[in-house]
Amino acid sequence: MRISGFILVIDSYLVRKGVVSMLNRIQGVRVLKEFGAADPFVAYLESHPVDFIIISQAGFDRSVDLFMTKPELLEKTILLEDPQKEGPTGKRPVHDVHASIHLMEEKETLILKIMDLLDHQGDRHTENHSMKLSPRETTIVRLVSLGLTNRQIAEKLFLSAHTVMTHRKNISSKLGIKSVSGLTVYAIVNNIITIEEVTSKPAR
């Protein structure tokens, strides 16, 4: 399994340790280095390859010049936003960061977002946004996430099993996700299904 290396640039020690604890629960993730408010992380980036940078809004604003001179770093950057604090200073680069997560979100939601990023690592520029799921495909993703088999989905939607299999192949082609767990993460992150619905589904 490929290991994705993370560095953290977060001012608050407690928040930083909370993020470390969250990342340690995700298979295939390794925290390479932690940086606080005054710690220089630029030198580390110059000599160590990393896959993702989780950085607080304050840390991002302090390092805006770095991101403007090295915009490729934005492709690796996950902005940790705190909605209780003021927004950006206005110096933020015109390019978007790779993703953002919110400090006030539930830990399980944050874990699912990180897992989704890992599933689509490197696909930001290659994904085809025009190939969105149809309403039928969205329904099938929801039912797959609920644990239904192809046969059960076919019966529920009055389709043949072959048609369901064709839909699932198309879904996998569009999303680049083949596993049920991957589709479940996608469904939760995209509000097709809730975490409560997934965790409360009967054991098979």
Give residue 38's pLDDT: 67
Summarize pLDDT for 4-51 with one digit per residue, the tens: 999 999 999 999 999 999 999 998 999 999 999 767 898 898 889 999
Domain boundaries 135-199, corresponding CATH code: 1.10.10.10
Task: Check if 4-119 and 135-199 are the same fold.
Answer: no
Distance CA 46, CA 171 (A): 39
Domain boundaries 4-119, corresponding CATH code: 3.40.50.2300
Rounded to the nearest integer, the mean pLDDT of the chain is 83
109-to-115, 178, 179, 186 alpha-carbon distances in Å: 10, 21, 19, 12
Which pLDDT band holds residue 154 (cuts at 50, 70, 90)?
very high
pLDDT at 127 over 80: no
Please, are residues 74 and 96 in contact by the beta-carbon 8 Å criterion?
A: yes
pTM of the complete model beyond 0.85:
no
Residue ranges of the domains in the chain? 4-119, 135-199
Please, are residues 6 and 23 in contact by the beta-carbon 8 Å criterion?
A: yes
Which pLDDT band holds residue 92 (cuts at 50, 70, 90)?
very low
